[in-house]
Amino acid sequence: MIAISACLLGFKCRYDGKSKKNLALMKLLESEKILPICPEKLGGLTTPRAPSSLLGGDGFDVLDGKAKVINSYGDDNTKAFIEGAYAALDMIREQKIKRCFLKDKSPSCGVGCRTQFSQETNEYKNSKYLTGVTAALLIRKGYI
């Protein structure tokens, strides 16, 4: 069984009320058992909602109490992001999930600092996106 960010499977759970369908991952629905997870919804946030950003560090820092998650109105969503991360972890453990595919560039699901090839500069460089809160927790627990 595989856990996948719900928005990649067509669930309209993003902050803007839209999905981010990934056809290759949606094709897996035909052959694999899939657990859709949306940590922001699991943390109690509504859809649509104001977009949130990491402030003062990455998802690891948020888990350690050294950074926050703030939405575009300045509201502190740190608690919801941490609760959503642990709720996702509980579901993944219950279902004995071995693999996870998470949406990139997200303050919850994003797995940051990947090395990418730039055709502009013809060299490899690190992505500017930080690891999100749920991604950080799942990395620490060995699921990513």
Taking contact as CB under 6 A, which single stretch among the options 2-10, 21-29, 93-101, 112-120 is the one that binds ligand SF4?
2-10
49 contributes a contact to ligand SF4 by CB under 6 A:
no
Taking contact as CB under 6 A, which single stretch among the options 5-13, 65-73, 90-98, 121-129 is the one that binds ligand SF4?
5-13
Cα gap 144→142, rounded to integer Å: 6
78 contributes a contact to ligand SF4 by CB under 6 A:
no
- In 47-77, where does DSSP find H-type helix? 59-63
76 residue type, one letter:
D
User: Which helix or strand (DSSP H or E) is residue 24 part of?
Assistant: helix 23-27
Shortest reach from residue 13's CB to ligand SF4, in Å: 5
106 contributes a contact to ligand SF4 by CB under 6 A:
yes
Interface pick for ligand SF4 out of 39, 61, 77, 100 (rule CB under 6 A): 39
* Tokens standing for residue 111: 């797995």
90 residue type, one letter:
D
Cα gap 82→88, rounded to integer Å: 10
Which spans of this chain sit near ligand SF4 (rule: CB under 6 A)?
Answer: 5-7, 13-14, 38-40, 103, 106, 108-109
